[in-house]
Amino acid sequence: MAEEVATDALKPMSDIQIAQTRAFIGGLEEGSTPYWDAVEIGDELARELTLTPELVVLYADGVEDFNSWYEGWTMNGWRAEGSSPFGSAIVPPLLVSHFVLAVQFDHTKPFSIGSIHTFHESEIIAPIPVGTTVEIRTRAIDKYEKRGRRYVRHEIEVTDVAGGTLYFRELRDIMSL
């Protein structure tokens, strides 16, 4: 018989924290469909995202990257221009890649939990200043099966909403349940 796993197996939690966690996950599971079924080849989605100083430091803190080039916000000074080799603060090179999933998974539908990102090939074309509003545009270009697993492939472009500068391109695969 398989050993039962506890919600607090990896970090200390009280009963109320455990109950809140289970309620949150119950909500995620409601209405979720496999990603494979949610995407058709040719589907194109786009959203705009303002890369605020606070968003950038939240991203960088999560991966413990404390390069000062990304700091358009500090605890003592709050918002500031910051400094990088390109002038003011810039966003970490793969930050926009992380946010692609919030575009390619249509945010107006329940999230397809259980999907796994397996591959990306990224082209970092130009530095993105902190504070820029970008458009992330995704196109589903293929659905394929390999060794019994189902994959959806997208191509992505990230551009400056104000000036049209192309900052970033990517090809990426998601494995669907």
Partner 1 sequence: METSRSYPRGTRSGDWVTADTPVGYELQSLKKKAAVQLMGSRLWGRFNPNHWDPVYAAKTGLKAPIQTGEMSSAYLAEMCVNHFGEHFFTGARFSCKYVAATLANEVISTHGIITAKQENADEVRFTVDLWAQNEAGEKKTVGTLDVAVPRGKGAA
d(CA 120, CA 97): 9
Binding residue for partner 1, selected from 80, 94, 106, 139, defined by CB under 8 A = 94
Whether the CB-CB separation of 96 and 128 falls below 8 Å is answered with yes
Shortest CB 130 distance to partner 1, Å: 13
Binding residue for partner 1, selected from 34, 55, 131, 139, defined by CB under 8 A = 55
Helix (H) or strand (E) holding 62: helix 53-62
Positive or negative torsion for Cα 53, 108, 46, 155: positive
Alpha-helical (H) ranges within 86-164 are: 95-99, 101-104
Taking the least distance from each CB to partner 1, the nearer of 42 and 76 is 76
Rounded to 5°, angle at Cα 171 from 53 and 49: 25
Taking the least distance from each CB to partner 1, the nearer of 77 and 93 is 93
Taking the least distance from each CB to partner 1, the nearer of 43 and 99 is 99
Close Cβ partners of 165 (under 8 Å, ≥ 6 residues apart): 126, 159
Binding residue for partner 1, selected from 15, 30, 40, 64, defined by CB under 8 A = 64
Q: Does 69 bind partner 1 (CB under 8 A)?
A: yes
Shortest CB 137 distance to partner 1, Å: 19
Q: Is 131 left (phi over 0), alpha (psi -120 to 50) or beta?
A: left
> Strands 116-124 and 44-50: what pairing?
unpaired
Number of residues binding to partner 1, judged by CB under 8 A: 48
Shortest CB 62 distance to partner 1, Å: 5
* 106-165 residues near partner 1, rule: CB under 8 A: 111, 113-127
Q: For residue 153, give the 3-state DSSP assignment.
A: strand
Taking the least distance from each CB to partner 1, the nearer of 31 and 42 is 31
Which residues of this chain interact with partner 1, rule CB under 8 A? 2, 5-7, 9-11, 21-22, 25, 28, 55, 58-59, 62-65, 67-69, 84-86, 90, 92-94, 97-98, 101, 111, 113-127, 177
